[in-house]
Amino acid sequence: MSSQNPDSFGKIRVLVAGNSGSGKTSVSHLIATGRKPRGDVAPTVGCQVHVRLYEFEEPSGARHKYFVELWDVGAHRRYEPLRKTFYGKINGVILVHDIAGGGAPAALQRWAMEIADQGTFSAELAPEAAADNLGALPVPVLVLYNKADKLQRTAAPAGVRPGPAARRCRPPGQRIAGRHRRGCGGLLLLGSREAALPQREATGHLCPARDATDPSPEASHGAPALQLQPRLGRF
């Protein structure tokens, strides 16, 4: 067991990005606390940091505690010149898209490229793994399609199921540029009802994004979202 002195805990910095109104603040609050924010959520001005203490257990049984910092970055155009000041020492990226809002998922590629161009990164992936990420981001990436519960069942894109976080899922019918190697990126469907789940499940489950032609069973099984953490390392 690691020391209980908070100064000895590792730190993980996860950047949360996406278009205005996609639900970045609500998602960050949910991951950090396991609860839905109370009342209306105001647009983020600059950057808002949410923190969760997470304990990771290695296969050997060794346990390590980490402060997971979720840097929720304001997406409004007026903050664009300032955003790069929050793109430092990044260990991982969550890209949030409002799947019910009708916006183009291609915006996620633009966000990924902006972060890759302006950011600095810790515990970078091998170049061949980073090359398959959106924007060639050199850290693990989670693509999160938010507000899935607002979709009409008859209008949902292929493979998208409204409701609680899917443990097994497929990428939506509209493909996002790029793909992810297993363990480096993933797809998470999230609706407002997740807030009622126990904290153990409130973060949702990852399904590694893959080509539809990949028949391997590992490609469709989920893993706890924060299991990305060991690959993110410390800074």
The Cα–Cα gap between 153 and 142 comes to 24
Q: Determine contact, residues 177/109, Cβ cutoff 8 Å.
A: yes
pLDDT at residue 152, rounded to an integer = 57
pLDDT at residue 103, rounded to an integer = 67
- Which residues have C-beta within 8 Å of that of residue 171, sequence separation ≥ 6? 159, 187, 209, 210, 212
Task: Name the nearest CA neighbour of 210 among 221, 199, 195, 200.
Answer: 221
Burial class, 152, CB count within 10 angstroms (exposed 0-12 / middle 13-18 / buried 19+): exposed
> Regarding the domain delimited by 6-232, which CATH topology (the fold level of the hierarchy) does it fall under?
Rossmann fold (3.40.50)
* DSSP symbol at 126: P
The C-alpha angle with vertex 76 and arms to 75 and 79, in degrees rounded to 5, equals: 90
Domain ranges for the chain: 6-232
The structure tokens listed for 219 are 């490609």
| pTM exceeding the 0.75 threshold for the entire prediction | no
Task: Name the nearest CA neighbour of 202 among 194, 210, 192.
Answer: 194
DSSP codes of every residue in 203-232: T-EEB----TT---GGGG--EEGGGGHHHH
Residue 42, number of CB atoms within 10 A of its CB: 9
Strand 63-73 relative to strand 47-57, pairing: antiparallel
pLDDT at residue 100, rounded to an integer = 82
pLDDT tens digits in sequence order for the chain, 235 residues long: 445 788 788 899 999 999 988 899 999 999 999 888 887 888 888 888 999 998 988 999 999 899 999 999 988 888 788 888 999 999 999 999 988 876 667 889 999 999 999 999 998 999 988 988 889 999 999 998 888 877 754 354 454 444 333 333 333 333 333 333 333 344 555 443 332 222 222 233 222 332 323 333 333 233 233 333 333 333 2
pLDDT at residue 71, rounded to an integer = 94
pLDDT at residue 16, rounded to an integer = 95
